[in-house]
Structure 1
Amino acid sequence: MRKILLLCGLSFFTVATAYAGEVSVQWQQPEKFTDIRPANDTRKAYRERVLKKFDGFFAELANKLPEGYKWEVTVTDLDLAGDVDYFAGGAGNPLRVVKDIYSPAIKFSYVVRDKHGEEVASAEEKLRDMGFMQTLNSVNNSDEFRYERQMLQDWFSKELQPKVEQYAQALPKVSQ
């Protein structure tokens, strides 16, 4: 039994290390983005927190790319779900109000390169999730920027991941 558990652990480790792509994210003039306005923070501190969080989202997705692949992303606009209402929280206490009419959106371009530097995929993307409030996997999810994260995950699994897999399958098999 112990050998079986050890073999299962090793096979899991092997699968986990087969996927470890890298990402570099460039933020093009984030101070001019459509909406990364804070409710209860300074503009600069909030913007830095948003960019750091989104860097993490892109890194999570890059981990699903094959080992040695590099994903270069340039974000040109971001519109967070909801809108800051300066009157909703009372005097001096603005709140971000999330309603169907304030859908999340992001614009970016990207290039994915394999471990030899060959271009696998590239495009300019304009994502907007108009049904973001109906499609979230977990109703009780309270993670900050959960709608934007879900929008990126959906796009990645439906658009980019299949392109990368198709490219990898088309490569000539190297005999071992």
Structure 2
Amino acid sequence: MKKTIIASIVLVVLGTSNVNADVSVTWENPDNYSDIDGGEQSQKKFQAEVTKQLEAYIVELSKRLAEGQKLSIKVTDLDLAGEVLPGFSQGLNSPRDMRVVKRVYFPTMDLEYQLTDSQGAILKSGSAELKDISFQDNIQSYQKARDPLAHEKDMIKEWFDKTFSQRVATK
């Protein structure tokens, strides 16, 4: 299943109007990703919520790109921090599948990207294998610790900052 969402539509829905760059994110075959398992949650709903939140975050980061630039990202694999393990007991409840976050279950994401200027000339393109092996070493604020995708967002931000330096962003 190939799902393409134009991020600018998401911006309109969210009411954000301060957009410099056009952004599109394609989630290629998310059913085949390494780990986007919601445990006891509906898989389709969990998958949709994860992709929606990560896409909105990419759109937010893209506001730093120069006006007229277009960023296209195709995500080809995703492995969320943690691992869904079966049969954890929560109090008096019966055992349930639950995501357990440990150092050995670090987040990864594979993607392809292309940044173009307003005339369509390619400024930067390539593929990237994002991973954050030391994801648990980051100091997190209380608010950030409550975000279930904080580790993935940190990983994406680090890649974005390195890939789209100030030099590219101000062209």
Shared fold (TM-score, shorter chain, > 0.5): yes
Aligned-partner Cα distance in 1 for 2:167–2:140: 24
Find the aligned partners of 1:139 and 1:98 in 2 and give their Cα distance: 17
Paired residues of 1:36 and 1:79 also in contact (CA < 8 A): yes
Q: Offset of 1:154 from its aligned partner? A: 1.1
Kindly indicate whether residue 130 of structure 2 is the aligned counterpart of residue 127 of structure 1.
yes
Q: How does 1:143-154 map to 2 (within 5 A)?
A: 143-154=147-158
Runs of 4+ aligned structure 1 residues displaced above 6 Å come to none
Which residue among 113, 117, 136 is the counterpart of 1:110? 113
Which has the larger Rg? 1
Deviations 1:92-122 (A, max 9, x none): 4221100000000000000001112111100
Question: Aligned pair count?
Answer: 151
2:165 aligned to which of 150, 153, 161 = 161
Identity %: 30
Q: Which runs of 5+ in 1 are unaligned?
A: 1-15, 169-176
The structure carrying a bigger helix percent of its residues is 1
- Give the Cα separation in 2 of the matches to 1:147 and 1:130: 10
Q: How does 1:60-75 map to 2 (within 5 A)?
A: 60-75=60-75
Give the 3-state SS of the residue equivalent to 2:148 in structure 1.
coil
Counterpart contact for 2:88–2:95, Cα < 8 Å: no
**Structure 2 length-normalised TM:** 0.81
CA contact (8 A) 1:136 1:147 kept: no
Match of 1:93 among 83, 86, 96: 96
Matched-pair contact (CA < 8 Å) for 1:109–1:124: yes
Is 1:43–2:43 an aligned residue pair? yes
1:76 paired residue number: 76
C-alpha contact 1:65 1:161 (8 A) present in aligned 2? no
Q: Distance in 1 between matches of 2:89 and 2:24?
A: 37
For 1:40 and 1:100, how far apart are their aligned partners in 2? Answer: 22
Distance 1:61 1:72 in 2: 13
Higher strand share: 2
